[in-house]
Each structure stands twice: as structure tokens, then as C-alpha cells.
Amino acid sequence: MGSGDIRVEQLSSLEQLLEFARLPYQVYGNRDAWWPPDVQNEIDLLAGKSLLSTYLEMAPFCARRGGRIVARVSAIINRRYIEHWHEPLGHLIHFEALDGADDGVAAMLEAAVQWLEARRMRAVRSGFAAFLDYPYAIDNYGSLPSFLLRGNGPSYHRYFKEAGFFTEKGQVDYTASLTPEWTVRYRGISDAASAAGVRVRSWREYGFLAAIDAWTEVTTAAFDRHWGWHPVTKAEVRPMLTALWETPVADLSMLATIGSDVVGAVFSVPDLSPMLVKVRPGARLDPERGGGTRGALINIGVLESARGRGVALAMTARSFLAMAERKMRFAGYTLVLDDNWASRHTALKVGARVTGNFVAYRRDLATAQRQ
Ligand SMILES: CC(C)(COP(=O)(O)OP(=O)(O)OC[C@H]1O[C@@H](n2cnc3c(N)ncnc32)[C@H](O)[C@@H]1OP(=O)(O)O)[C@@H](O)C(=O)NCCC(=O)NCCS
């Protein structure tokens, strides 16, 4: 498909997929600091060779201007999402675009949406898909985002609105300062929970491999009604996490038990920025953003039967204490839906404050057609 010097293509060859996967180098490469993509992982996914591939039908698209890629996106049909929510909703993941690529983006998004519509999807979401996509930043433009999160520029919002999308959900990224005063409070929270019969152990203490399976079970149950999520399986999670047993992930991630039942799970990471972030020579990261000083709690879930008893608070407190013991000065509490008050209260109770805001976009195809 072509219009003027803009050309939209659906990609398939390995060479094209490599070019697709490397677009972020052009979008973010001149920043002081940025998280480069895992190119091989992305190509495996696009080539249908990932563990997630069995659940997905996907089509990567790009827009070229004068032969050069200026925007990219993958349309996906995620059967697990559709079956879980009984909603014919397709996703647009991997979206990235250069500034000033309006015409290319418009033509590319339309082609991707049409691909989904031809497969009977009635709505399209971009900016949230379990393990596959994260929401778009609406602040902190130009600075290093938290681990896993997007550092897009402001033009992305114009691109989606011009293409008929609206803001479906807002999300918050929190950061807590691990001061001596707060670590005293975390000990108090932790002691109160254990006096009430809640036992919190790190994944290393529990047994790392068994903890991965317990995390999968608790997360699938706890997130059953969590917007945007769908069940995940032990078969896919084990290979994703097993290699982490030698890392501090095993000490920072927690499980909570009451009696012999696992009722809560937390997955946390140390500061991965020294290993993964590309930093321009001479540039320095703000300690709240990385540079070895910011751990992050990525995911927390408590079974419905055990909620409201301080289990989440106790796991968060223990995870943050473990970060402080390893010389981290800040802890992320990463990505909470704006209206997830249970999780937002948990963040507030451990002293975290809002340090980043994000949105996911949606387009209802029937509505857009009537416009
Ligand atoms: C969010 C979640 C982990 C909280 O677990 P929990 O063990 O029930 O939380 P706690 O009992 O430790 O409560 C923590 C704080 O939140 C408050 N809280 C708990 N549930 C609440 C609710 N539904 N609405 C408002 N506040 C709530 C508690 O009162 C407590 O604050 P307080 O000490 O000032 O009273 C749990 O609801 C859950 O698993 N939800 C589904 C998955 C999810 O949303 N995970 C978080 C994704 S970011």
C-alpha cells in the first residue's frame, strides 16, 4: 500500500523483522539514557518461535518514507485474552514511531486495524497486553523510564487520537524512598503480619522453582478480574524466570502463606539499569531512576479469600527491606491502574509516591465507523 512517498508494508522476512526490531534505536538512540530492545526476543516472537506464539496470530506492519522505516506496529489476536474476557478485542503492540511521521503512522495504523477487523475483532487496544505490551507515558518525556515501561515522546498521543483511539485506562508508577525511618516502619508492618499468622518468605527461602509455580498460580487467580490480564501457564513462566535463581530476584521476590496455603505473591527485581541501560558517555542517571539504586516491585497479587488482612503490605514491606539491605535507596511499585484503590493504598502505606503516569488506548471499531 502506498501514498506519495509513504509506503505501508506487512513484514515477514527475517531481514525485514530485524529492521522492524531495530527502529527503537532511531527513536531513542540519541537520548542520554534508554532501555534498548531485546531484538532477538522480539524477532522470535514475530517469527512465531516464542512460547507465547501458540496463543497468538500476529502481523507486523511498518510505514516507510523514502524506503526508511518511520513507524512500526504489530497487530495481534491473543486467543487467551478473547477466551478469558469473551471479548473480540485485538491488540496493537510494538508501536514506535519517529517524530513528524503523522502520515505514515495514520496509514500504518489503519492497515493494522483493518487486518484485525478482517478477523472479526470489534475493538482494538494499544498499550497493555500481558507479557507483550506496556502503556504510553504521559509525563517524564525524555527521561529514563522505569524498568519495562515506555519512554515515548508526546507525539504518540496525537498519533493514536488522530487514528480514532481514546484513553481507555490510566496507570501509575510509584517510587518509595527507602530511608532509615521507612525501613523501621517496614519491620513493624512485617512483624504485625507474622503475629497475625501471615508468613512471608523470599523465593529463595521458599525454594525458587516451587516459588515460580506458586507465583503463576496466585497471579492467575488474583488477577482473574484485573483489567487487561489473562491467565498464564506454568509451562511459559518457568523458562522465563528459572534463569533468575542466581540473581537478587530470588531474595527480593516474596510469597505469603497462611498455614500451608500460599495466598500472596510478589515479583521484584533489583536495579537492572547498570546491566541493560544505554547511557551516553558523561551522562549520569538520577538515583531515583536507576544507576544501581532503584529496585522495583513489578507485580503483586493476593488471593481473594486472604485480602484485607495486610498480606500485600507485609510482602511489599519485606521486599523493600530486602532492597534496602542490598543498598538500594529507592523502590519502584510499578504500574497500578488509576482505579485500583487496593493497590494504590498499599503503595501509599509503604511511603511510595506517584512518579510516572501512563495510558492505554482503545478504539471501538463499530463506533469509529459511525464517525
Ligand atoms: C491489591 C492487592 C494485592 C491488595 O492485597 P491485600 O492483601 O488485600 O491488601 P492489604 O490487606 O495489605 O491492604 C493494604 C492497604 O490497602 C487497603 N485496601 C485493601 N483493599 C482495599 C480496597 N478494596 N479498597 C480500598 N482500600 C483497600 C487496606 O485497607 C490497606 O490500607 P490500610 O492499612 O490503611 O487499611 C489485592 O487486592 C489483589 O491481589 N488484587 C488483584 C490483583 C491486583 O490488582 N494487584 C495489584 C496490581 S498493581
Q: Label each residue of 140-196 as H, E or C.
A: CCCCCCCCCCCCCCCHHHHHHHHCCCEEEEEEEEEEEECCHHHHHHHHHHHHHHHHC
Q: For ligand 1, say whether the CB of 311 is within 6 Å of any of its atoms.
A: yes
Q: pLDDT of 287-317, one tens digit each?
A: 999 889 999 999 999 999 999 999 999 999 9
Ligand 1 center from residue 225 Cα (angstroms): 14
User: How many domains does the structure of the chain reveal?
Assistant: 2
309 CA: nearest ligand 1 atom: 11
Confidence band of 1 (pLDDT split at 50, 70, 90): low
In a domain, residue 81? The reply is yes
In a domain, residue 70? The reply is yes
What single DSSP character describes residue 88?
A: -
In a domain, residue 155? The reply is no
Domain boundary among 71, 105, 133: 133
Q: For ligand 1, say whether the CB of 141 is within 6 Å of any of its atoms.
A: no
In this prediction, residues 145-150 reach a mean pLDDT of: 94
344 CA: nearest ligand 1 atom: 16
Nearest CA to ligand 1 atom 5: 312
The residue written with cell numbers 522470535 in the block is 44
Q: For ligand 1, say whether the CB of 309 is within 6 Å of any of its atoms.
A: yes
Please check whether residues 185 and 42 belong to one and the same domain: no
Residue 311's contacts (CB-CB under 8 Å, 6 or more residues apart) are 193, 198, 256, 258, 263, 264, 302
Q: What is residue 173's predicted lDDT score, i.e. its pLDDT?
A: 97
Domain that includes residue 98, residue range: 2-133
In this prediction, residues 90-96 reach a mean pLDDT of: 98
Confidence band of 2 (pLDDT split at 50, 70, 90): low
In this prediction, residues 158-187 reach a mean pLDDT of: 98
Strand partners of residue 169: 360
Ligand 1 center from residue 191 Cα (angstroms): 18
CATH number at residue 313: 3.40.630.30
* 32 φ/ψ sector (left φ>0, alpha ψ -120 to 50, else beta): alpha
In this prediction, residues 34-61 reach a mean pLDDT of: 94
Strand partners of residue 125: 91, 362
111: pLDDT strictly greater than 60: yes
In a domain, residue 147? The reply is no
Q: For ligand 1, say whether the CB of 307 is within 6 Å of any of its atoms.
A: yes
Nearest CA to ligand 1 atom 19: 342
Q: Are strands 123-126 and 352-364 parallel, antiparallel or unpaired?
A: antiparallel
In this prediction, residues 170-179 reach a mean pLDDT of: 98
Percent of the chain with pLDDT over 90: 93
In this prediction, residues 151-159 reach a mean pLDDT of: 98
Confidence band of 366 (pLDDT split at 50, 70, 90): confident
Please check whether residues 73 and 194 belong to one and the same domain: no
**What letters, b where the CB count within 10 A reaches 16 and e where it falls short, cover 127-150?**
bbbbebbbbbbbebeebbbbbebb
> What is the crossing angle of helices 311-325 and 180-195, to 10°?
140
316 CA: nearest ligand 1 atom: 12
Q: What is residue 3's predicted lDDT score, i.e. its pLDDT?
A: 58
Mean pLDDT of the chain: 95
Q: For ligand 1, say whether the CB of 204 is within 6 Å of any of its atoms.
A: no
In this prediction, residues 265-289 reach a mean pLDDT of: 94
Please check whether residues 182 and 114 belong to one and the same domain: no
Q: pLDDT of 191-224, one tens digit each?
A: 999 999 999 999 999 999 999 999 999 999 999 9
Nearest CA to ligand 1 atom 8: 307
Please check whether residues 103 and 230 belong to one and the same domain: no
367: pLDDT strictly greater than 90: no
- CA dihedral (56, 59, 62, 63) positive or negative: negative
